[in-house]
């Protein structure tokens, strides 16, 4: 059964590119185009990894991931690994993201092989997963 990744980003080109790359590597990808969409998906689906943009209209990626992790915590899942991606260097926002203890924090544009390496590493942290 393929591992599921929740991809949260409001930029369609980014979501399409990352979703295609992840699917080509054998992962199932659930796409949320906003923080609110991510919460709806989390209420209905299970997944092994969150990849989220930080700056989005409405609910930020940090706020959305915090809510999603709370939903999973209420289900008895202690930790879902998270990778934050952003096109903006903002120390305050980065500090807020790091309070959620993400596996990685990557700046756009990022190196594709490095991104896939981080995905595989993060999936090794997922409950009951081996990262393969």
Per-residue confidence band for 129, with pLDDT thresholds at 50, 70 and 90:
very low
pLDDT (mean) for 76-86: 91
Contact 50, 68 (CB under 8 A): yes
Euclidean distance between CA atoms 47 and 28, whole angstroms: 9
Q: Which of 24, 20, 19, 21 is nearest to 8 (CA)?
A: 19
pLDDT tens-place string over residues 59-79: 999 999 999 999 999 999 878
Residue 119 has pLDDT above 80, yes or no: yes
Residue 46: pLDDT band with limits 50, 70, 90: very high
Which of the pair, 121 or 1, is modelled with greater confidence? 121
DSSP string, 63-94: HHHHHHHHHHHHTT-----EEEEESS--HHHH
On the question of pLDDT at 131 being above 50, the answer is no
Alpha carbon distances (Å) from 11 to 8, 51, 56, 131: 9, 13, 9, 27
Neighbours of 89 (CB within 10 A): 8
Residue boundaries of the structural domains of the chain: 4-125
pLDDT at 90: 78
CATH topology of domain 4-125: Rossmann fold (3.40.50)
Query: Would you say 60 and 35 are in contact if contact means Cβ atoms under 8 Å apart?
Result: yes
To 5 degrees, how large is the angle CA 109–CA 113–CA 118? 90
With a cut of 90, say whether residue 48 has pLDDT above it.
Answer: yes
Q: Evaluate if residue 127 carries a pLDDT over 80.
A: no
Give the model's confidence band at 117: pLDDT under 50 very low, under 70 low, under 90 confident, else very high. Answer: very high
Interval 78-82 mean pLDDT: 90
Could you give the 3-state DSSP secondary structure of residue 47? coil
């Amino acid at each position: 059964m393929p591992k599921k990744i929740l991809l949260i980003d409001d930029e369609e080109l980014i979501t399409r590119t990352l979703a295609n790359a992840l699917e080509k590597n054998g992962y199932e990808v659930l796409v949320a185009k906003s923080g609110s969409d991510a919460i709806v998906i989390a209420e209905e689906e299970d997944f092994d990894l969150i990849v989220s943009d930080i700056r989005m209209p409405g609910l930020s990626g940090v706020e959305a991931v915090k809510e999603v992790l709370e939903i999973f915590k209420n289900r008895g899942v202690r930790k879902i690994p998270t990778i934050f991606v952003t096109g903006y260097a903002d120390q305050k926002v980065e500090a807020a993201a790091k309070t959620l203890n993400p596996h990685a924090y990557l700046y756009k544009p990022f190196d594709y092989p490095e991104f896939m390496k981080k995905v595989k590493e993060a999936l090794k942290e997922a409950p009951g997963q081996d990262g393969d």
